[in-house]
Amino acid sequence: MLPFVFVDRTIPDEVAAYLAEHFEVEIWDHQKGSIPKELLGEKLSRAAGFMTGGRSINESFLEQAPLLKAVSTISVGYNHFDTEAMRRRGVIGTHTPYVLDDTVADLTLALMLAAARRVAELDRYVKEGKWSRSDGVKLFGKDVHHAKLGIIGMGRIGEAVAKRARFGFDMEIAYYNRSRKPEVEARLQASYTPQLQDLLADSDFVVLLTPLTPQTNKLIGREEFERMKRDAIFINVSRGQTVDEQALIEALQNGTIGAAGLDVYEQEPIQPDNPLLGMPNVVTLPHIGSATTQTRNEMAMLAARNLVHALTGLQPAYIVSELADLS
């Protein structure tokens, strides 16, 4: 009898077919909404593997899955994994890094350009019939080319952003990271800034690209915004919880910083009454960093390969670091 695997969201047909070569597979059509609690519990009670788009894998989830051996998330971030609970039960966790690097980097540049040149704001301005030839300075934005970009978190996505910014827009690149990367500095003409506060004070654009960890939770708050230039543009494509959102709101309302481009929020979906949604100097996207058809399909296939390897005795390519010794 083949092991049973449950997938909590729609996946491409070729990915489903690949999984079906190895397992008995059931896939929930997430367009129907959330999985009923009782149905999820029934599926988990006999699942050896679980593939998810971001469901919280915690103690209560694991209690419903006594046969579970591996969870594969279709994402690079895995802050929805309670790795300690998974370790106690011997459940391997895998994720999908690298495949989305270029796509997220593209979106980061799109947010920078949109916020700097007020693309969304002025799009509405034209469509609402407000455009007049006498507008002049009312329509002015901020140059991206030759500006200074400060990157917080120089991982692979950070490198991809720096490459685009340096060689596409002649930007000056500075970065703050847990460790220095001389090879990146040489290749991308980037400068290492050991103190975060110095990076914030000197940058025209600040891009946050750190994973969410206990150390990066609310990494950017009131003090950090106060260190930024008054016309600085802040971009967050990491996780919403890496920023004190109330401090960001206040910084934008008070003119402490100039503008923001956001793909992530403390609460998702963002609530309709969130002040960020009423600010013309904020570009808001619905957490779409990796959301292109090609990239999402590649992520789903990588997640499927991870799960197949984990359940067939092979070494998955991308086990989360906290659980690597379980394989």
Listed residue (8, 7, 37) closest to 24, CA to CA: 7
Nearest in space to 117 (alpha carbons), one of 286, 215, 233: 233
Give me the sign of the Cα torsion angle 115, 117, 123, 128: positive
* Distant-in-sequence, close-in-space partners of 86: CB < 8 Å, separation ≥ 6: 57, 62, 71, 92, 93, 323
Q: Active-site residue among 239, 296, 305, 309?
A: 239
Instruction: Please indicate whether residue 30 is annotated as part of the active site.
Output: no
Residue 322 burial (C-beta neighbours within 10 Å; 0-12, 13-18, 19+): middle
Active-site residue (options: 24, 156, 287, 322)? 287
Q: What would the two tokens of residue 13 be?
A: 């047909």
Mark whether 239 is an active-site residue.
Answer: yes
56 in Cβ contact with 80 (< 8 Å): yes
What angle do the packed helices 156-169 and 101-116 form, to 10 degrees? 50
DSSP codes of every residue in 104-168: HHHHHHHHHHHHHTTHHHHHHHHHTT---TT-GGGG-----TT-EEEEE--SHHHHHHHHHHHHH
The reply to whether 250 belongs to the active site is no
Which candidate in 42, 63, 84, 268 is catalytic? 268
* H helices, E strands: number in the chain: 12, 12
CB 207 within 8 A of CB 185: no
* CB 30 within 8 Å of CB 8: yes
Catalytic residues: 239, 268, 287
